[in-house]
A and B are shown apart, each in its own frame.
Chain A
Amino acid sequence: MKKLKNTVNIVIPLAFVTLLLTGWEVMVRCKSVPEWILPGPVRIARTFADNAPVIAKHSQSTLLECLAGFGIAIVFSFVIAFLMDEIELIKRALYPLIVASQTVPIVSVAPLFIIWFGYGLMPKIIVVVLVCFFPIAISLMGGLAAVDREYLELFRSMKASRLDIFRMVKLPLAMPSFFSGLRISAAYSVMGAVIGEWLGAKQGLGLYMTLSQRSFQVDRVFAAILAVTALSAALFVLVVLAERLVIPWNRLKQDR
């Protein structure tokens, strides 16, 4: 019964996507839409295959920026969330600032990083960090703050130190929330890197995209979009796998 359900869960969305793609292809062919406006899926797939080595090379730099930015954002989030959770003064000082920072559009500040740090990897990594930091930090802080007060009282009555309580109680209980933030920013991180590359880069999918777009090679733009999507999905899957590895106990609830 469960197996059947799983099959249905996979087959139905897959069939739907196939239907959409077929519709797209048929429409493009029947109406003979020019390729520089909208190429069909078949054409895009061919372009993707033909340019695979180039796309792979560009993907590499984008992926590097993502992973570096993502990693830095995670480390930052842990440090900030720990400090904000333990020290009330820091929380009061930083929290409004962190929220306010999210109202600044990334696209408007990214050019500044290029002025300051040049066309290398650095400005893109900074953009990725900025994009990823917020969801991770907020979800981690939310998780830490949501820990049932009774847990804390119980552990205090057993003479646990503050560090013990953080390590043994708060951190593990905050992990499910942390990972949901991590999943969101995994998908965002590629977007951050691509935005950074749009504005000026030596290599990367964002650069490839802008170059193709300027020469009206829409099929290449689509191929780049495909690569971006694949990267985002891969990072998302990576996070989900990490989640299963780090907090295997969290899945038990769903099994019951």
Chain B
Amino acid sequence: MSAAAPAAALPRPPAAGLRATQAGASRRGMLRLLLSLAAALLCLPGSLTAHAAESGRTPLPAIEIANPGQCVEPKDVIRRDHMKFLRHQRDLTMHEGIRTKKYSLNECVSCHASKKTGSVLGEGGFCQNCHDYAAVRPDCWDCHQPRVQPAAKGRADAATADLLQAMQRGRGGAETKP
């Protein structure tokens, strides 16, 4: 015990000194960080206006809307968050069978497909145009149909109702006899 006590006491002063320097350094570092942040904030409006002025240098995507009208969300919202809406909708549809049209990808296509090509992809295609500009490759179209189809298949129609009734008649006779 008596031998261990001075040994343990020895490293204490340097450690305390180190702590003091660290604290000083971090305080200075924090100050520097705050200053640079403030500088960055001050520069931000300037840089934004500079980009806007330079927009002529970069070819902006030419957004052509085949069926002009009101989108399901305001323009700034849908531009920023369309992927979130689509992702939310895809889970609802896939797992719960909710098939509302508002954020349905097929509904996007029906409004936004080019009148010339019938697709949202390709030269001047609504989706491809912007995503090329933003250097984003959406993988929606690996599986989903990017072209407008004349009539969505698989809807319930009179033929289905007839079939159900025929099924009932054909198999029901033998079953319901007392």
Q: Do A and B come from one complex?
A: no
On B, residues with C-beta under 8 Å from A are: none
On A, residues with C-beta under 8 Å from B are: none
